[in-house]
Structures are given as structure tokens and as C-alpha cells.
Chains A and B, each alone.
Chain A
Amino acid sequence: MAVQGIWSGTISFSLVAIPVRLVTAIRPGHISFHLLHSKDYSPLSRRMFCPKEGAMVPADEIIRGYEIVPDKYILMTDEELESVSPERSRTIEILEFIDMKEVDPIYYDHPYYLVPSKGGEKAYQLLVEVMHRTNKAGLAKFVLAEREYLVAVTSKEGALALTTLHYSDEILPDEDISPKKGKIEAEEESRMQKSIEQMIEDFDPGKYADERRKKLVALLEAKAKEKAPVEAPAVAEEEGEGPADLVAALEESMRKVKENR
């Protein structure tokens, strides 16, 4: 796969360090729309609105607050937020090796692949092979986009896959989900088991597709053929001088240019 990747660094444990790139394993099928003004097809922008003043709020007047009870906030500055953010890191440090079967799928967050970078191909292959044979997954901590993730690195069809995992305190307790135990009739149980057995198949995800998305794409294609797309009008530009120093230097240069022409 000739992909550039969204992160590059090394994956390491004990004395091993292999240069790798992280690439996403999923292309989401979501089709998104822009919001337009129906009068003239201007794309609309989101602005911050103050209901008290009935006016838009400029960026330099916007700060962050964490709501502890309704209408009461603890203020938080960018610096304070940054002080608790993890340092950017160039390593995926494997902390321990685990059995992937022990990980409840509810912990799976987002799947990625790790691709070997130049010079790392041989060590990468070795790790893929050994992890495949021992059937173990590497549990690691890893910083991506200012967040520290818990990740599982697995060997998958000759490559390394990386799955970000939810932290345990993100998983909701399931105690209220299951109903109280009642008596189950043996006959009912065997009937249901039979119905299930009749429907058993091998998992083949290719059989299923997002029907709404398919129809939406077809509709968009048909509409694009039928009629030219509507066009957004030009936006009125903000007038305003550039930085004073620059404008002064440009004025002076312009004067000299005109003298010499």
C-alpha cells in the first residue's frame, strides 16, 4: 500500500524499535452536506452568538468554561489545557503483551494499520511473524493529536493492525441492562436454539451494504447529470489595511518603482 500516513514514528519494546507510519483502516461512507442560503446559495458559516447582547461575539472575546451545575462554570485557559495535554511523541511503546481474546469488543474504538517505513521492513516482518505465531497482542500507550490512547497492536494477514481502545472508565456499567432472572422453560429454550442453528452462516460482510448511501450516491449522480450545479456568489471582502510596517514599506517601494518607470 503506497500511503503516506497520518503519523510516523517508531514502535518499540525492550530493545526493538521499528520505524512505522500509521494509516487509517477505514474509509467512512458518510456523505455530508453543506448548508446554503436558499436565496442565493451562499455557503453559511457558523458564528458564535451571544443571546444576551443579541450579537455575534468576536473570537478574542471567547473563553472556555466547564459547567459544574447549571449556570456555574469553572474557567479554563488554553495554557491550562495545554499543561495537562501529553507531549507529542514519536513512539508507540508496547507495555505488555496480552491475549486479544480477553479484550471485550466493546473496548474497540478505531482501527488503523501500521506500515513499515524505510529501513524497517525486515524487523517489521519479524514482529508480524512472531506475534502471529504466539497469537499475542501488544498493549501500548500512544499520543495522537494531543490525546493519549491505549492501543492494541495485533498481527493481521502479514501486517500490523493498531486499534485504539476505550479507557475502562468510558465504558458504561451494564448492571441495569439485563432483566431480573426468571424461570426458562426447557422446551422454549431448545426451540430458540434450533431457530438460531438454522440461520447460522459464515460471516461475509461483503453481502451487506449501506443501502441509503448507495441510493444517495445514485441520486446525486443523476441530479448532477440533469442540471448544472448552483454556484455560490462571491463574498463581499473586508476592507482594511495590512500591517502598518508592511504598508509603509510597500508605499516607499512603490514610490521608487514609479520614479524609475
Chain B
Amino acid sequence: MEGRRLPLSNLEKDLYPSYGFTKARILEYYRGIAPFILPHLKDRALTLKRYPEGVERDFFFEKRCPSHHPAWVKTAEVPQEGGEPMTVCMVNDLETLIWAENLASLELHVPLARTGSSQTPDSMVFDLDPGEPANILDCARVALILRDLLSRMGLVGYAKTSGQKGLHVFVPLNRKETTFEDTKTFSKAVAEIMQKHYPDLVTAKMAKQERKAKIFINWSQNDASKTMICVYSLRAREKPYVSFPLEWEELENLAGLGDPERLQVMHSEAVRRAEEKGDLFQEVLVKEQKLPHL
């Protein structure tokens, strides 16, 4: 690739055994989705979540860039609390993406800030997490209320599936003045107001027992030390679901149909839809918005 040699290994290994999805097909997926996912990974410290023996076996997180990385993989030194800076890698090109997938890093997690400005989030996020027996349809209801509330506050949000059971709403900021303290204060106040007005549907509390049958609005993801699953990343579930952006109208329609499976987007559909509609998360990278009343 581009004159760089990258030996690939174990291409025939089935990493989603109950569905049937080999490493070769995972590489093929990421190659196809690359034009859409790369802008969202660019200049962000990658956390690799590696599944060397497939999604049904053990995985491990790697925040530090593996020391055996090829010389052309872009790295950065990020400061760590009370310690020497840590070397992380950034997926800034197709080669690095393929390299990371060859390491069976099915899931790509990135922080809300870029490495050069690690204390400045470029989005505020609401991570909507359903507590059983609530499901992704309840998440959709909460997301739609959240959209309206944000819109009354003069803010535009963008939704994506988590690729697991929940939804994520991203509010682009892209202003260097905004801090994680700002996004945390704001998102927490929003989560609490949602909980106050929809106490049977929403909780803003982390405690497991509070979350049963409700949607937990996880505002605490708005933190320099946290990462989110990158939009268009595969998830390590029984099937190769993707964290995929949905238009609000689409979410309204799907919520009305009452079938949670219909909200999930799988690998091949993801590439097809992205190619057809373009990057629905494009605005998240560029739209400037200011959090009011802070």
C-alpha cells in the first residue's frame, strides 16, 4: 500500500464464529468504510480493543501504542496524570487503519479531544444506555426528546447507534474555549432535567440499581480520560454491528415501527448506506456551537 509493506496474518480466522465473519472480511469492511471513518479517527489517541481469538473469547485494551508498530504509524506523546507522557497511535491514514485491524482491534475507541489539544473536547456527548428490560427503542424516545430540548437551547445534535444496545447523541462544539468541565456541567444538568421530567424513563445516575428499566444518560463520558466508540467502528458482538449515524427523521420512523433490530446497522449495509448518503456525521467535525448559560 502506497509503497508500504504490511504483512497481514490469519486472514482466514473467523472472528465472529456464530455469524461467520473472517479477518479478511473485517479488513475488507474497514477498507470500504475508510473514507468515512478516517476523518473521525484523525489526530485522536486510539485505544485498541483487540480480540485475537474472536468476539467470543478474551479481549484486551491497549492505550499505549504497541512498541512494535511500523515507523510510519503516527504517534503522539500524551501527558499522563502524575507520570511520564505515554506514546499513543493515531489512525491518520488507510495503512494505519489496516495495521490496527490486522492486530484484530475490531473496536476503535477515541477520546472527544484531539491529541494536540487533549483538554478541549470538540463535541459534547450523551451516551444513552438502556437498563434491561428497556431497549434501543426507549433510547430512541429519549434521544428524540433530547433533540428537542437541545434545539430549544439553540443546539444541534447528531445521533448514532452505539452498535451495542444504546444510542449516542453528539453535539458538535469545535471551539477552543470549551473545556471538559463545561461539557460535563452542561450535559449533567441536561441529564438531570430529563430525569426530573421523565422519571420513569430516564436516570442520570450511574448506580446499576437506578438504571433498571430506564435509559441512563451517561454524561460522565464528557471527560478527557474517557473514550467513545468511533462512528463507523465495528462492535464485537455476536454479529458485526456498526456504530452508525442515523438521521433524526429515520430515528422517528424506526422508533414508530417497534422493532429494535431495525435500528441496528451491519457491516455491508453500513458501507452501502455511507456511500449513498455520505458521512452523516460530517457536521460533528466542523460545526461550531457555543454552550449557552455557562
Which chain B positions have C-beta within 8 A of A245?
A: 293
B153 touching A250 by the CB < 8 A rule?
A: yes
Determine if B235 is an interface residue (Cβ-Cβ < 8 Å).
Answer: no
B198 to chain A, nearest CB (A): 9
- Interface segment, one of B79-87, B221-229, B244-252: B79-87
Question: How far does the Cβ of A33 sit from chain B's closest Cβ, in whole Å?
Answer: 12
Interfacial residues of chain A within 28-79, with CB under 8 A of chain B in the complex: 28, 30, 32
What is the chain B residue whose CB lies nearest that of A245? B293
Q: Which of A90-98, A158-166, A204-212, A229-237 contacts B (4 or more CB under 8 A)?
A: A229-237
Whether the pair A242, B186 counts as a contact (CB closer than 8 A) is yes
Q: Find out whether the CB atom of B185 lies under 8 angstroms from the CB atom of A2.
A: no
Contact between A250 and B149, CB atoms less than 8 A apart: yes
Q: Is A85 an interface residue (CB 8 A)?
A: no
- B40 contacts chain A at the CB level, 8 A cutoff: no
A3 at the interface (CB under 8 A from B): yes
A-B contacts counted at CB < 8 A amount to 90
Given A3-B76, A6-B77, A251-B193: A246 touches B148 (CB 8 Å cut-off): no
**Chain A residues within 8 Å of B11, by CB:** none
* A254 CB-CB contact with B under 8 Å: yes
What is the CA–CA distance of A24 and B72 in the complex, to the nearest angstrom? 18
Asked, given contacts A242-B185, A243-B293, whether A254 binds B87 with beta carbons under 8 Å apart, the answer is no
Identity of the chain B residue whose Cβ is nearest the Cβ of A2 in the assembled complex: B74
**Which chain B residue has the least Cβ–Cβ distance from A145?**
B79
| Residue numbers in B under 8 Å from A27 (CB-CB) | 67, 84, 87
Which chain A residue shows the least CB distance to B67?
A27
Inter-chain CA distance A258–B193, complex, in Å, is: 12
B206:A235 contact, CB within 8 angstroms: yes
A260 within 8 A of B: yes
The verdict on B161 contacting chain A, using a C-beta distance below 8 Å, is no
Considering only residues 73-121 of chain B, those with a C-beta below 8 Å from chain A are 73-77, 79, 83-85, 87, 90, 115-116
Do the beta carbons of A253 and B149 come within 8 Å of each other? yes
The residues in A between 213 and 261 inclusive whose CB is less than 8 angstroms from any CB of B are 224, 234-237, 241-243, 245-254, 256-258, 260-261
CB < 8 Å: which of A234, A236, A246 contacts B186?
A: A246
**B-contacting residues of A (Cβ < 8 Å)?**
1-6, 23-24, 27-28, 30, 32, 224, 234-237, 241-243, 245-254, 256-258, 260-261
**CB-based closest 3 A-B pairs:** A242-B189, A253-B152, A4-B76
Residues in chain B within 8 A of chain A (CB atoms): 60, 67, 71-77, 79, 83-85, 87, 90, 115-116, 145, 148-149, 152-153, 185-186, 188-190, 192-194, 197, 205-208, 292-294
26 contacts between A and B (CB under 8 A): A2-B71, A2-B72, A2-B73, A2-B74, A2-B75, A3-B87, A4-B90, A4-B116, A5-B77, A6-B77, A24-B84, A24-B85, A27-B87, A28-B84, A32-B83, A224-B60, A234-B207, A236-B207, A237-B205, A246-B186, A249-B292, A251-B193, A252-B152, A253-B149, A257-B148, A257-B149
